[in-house]
Structure 1
């Protein structure tokens, strides 16, 4: 069975999302106050990795998967200064992760989930009774959709607006090309 490989940026984003909130805040402060490096914990010129920068700003967390994801993202073979682009990407992912946490009302989600579970037994019993009456009735999502989806691109959820807009532009360009092709075919008929 082949393993699905994730991109380095996806690994970095996942590692950032797993950090405690106080560590992400401290890391933001740390990358503004220190020279950031990749490939090592510190260097001789005073540069530090983002985790040490966070540690120095109060985010006391030991999270080795972040360090591995950071080094893999930067493709570092040896210790070196992080580029401006790498630091900007780290900063934007930290900020996005903190903003995403602000939008989540965990207590409300738990309350909604419990309410839903309380109403579900009656709905499930009704669905089971319907299924027993129509044992071979297709359920939503059961139909084979291979012929319908062949050659089409499906949009996935995006974390960033610019990725969504780029995918939407590609889909619209593909649609326009298809419409032009059909128009040419109709003209020749």
Structure 2
């Protein structure tokens, strides 16, 4: 009889210990919170999460990964697309987040407008002295274009330098986090030599 009581006592302590650990684990795991903009303007063919959010509350490695998520395509210039919070949540789930791990804050829908490369808005930009002919400015999100034979690949990058058409600038590939050098061929567009990518990769 004493043996049975002892086993019950030990079993109860183990259960209590496991429950306590589980509760502590759930408390330490904070939810990811995504704060959406009310509206956003993009210039590329694709919509990335970093372009439509004000901020993401998450640890730095996860935040960087989430920023690079492609949430949709946008083939037409000067057109609008409406993305719902539910749609964005689905894209986040597809990236590996569990439904209970993420919350999307903001309006129920976000209006995304794609601007053409030569939109009137760009003509009205206030450039500082000496930058009036810059097609790419430091910090801009740009299209990295790689062309070889019959192959054309477009990636996303962030300009690390400002420059005019025909000038070479350094760009950070946001997918690989590697720096590459390319030629500015159009507004927000940098053409990269595939040989240079191989060498710098």
TM norm structure 1: 0.24
**Higher percent of residues as helix:** 1
Higher relative contact order (CA 8 A, sep 6+): 1
**Higher percent of residues as strand:** 2
TM norm structure 2: 0.23
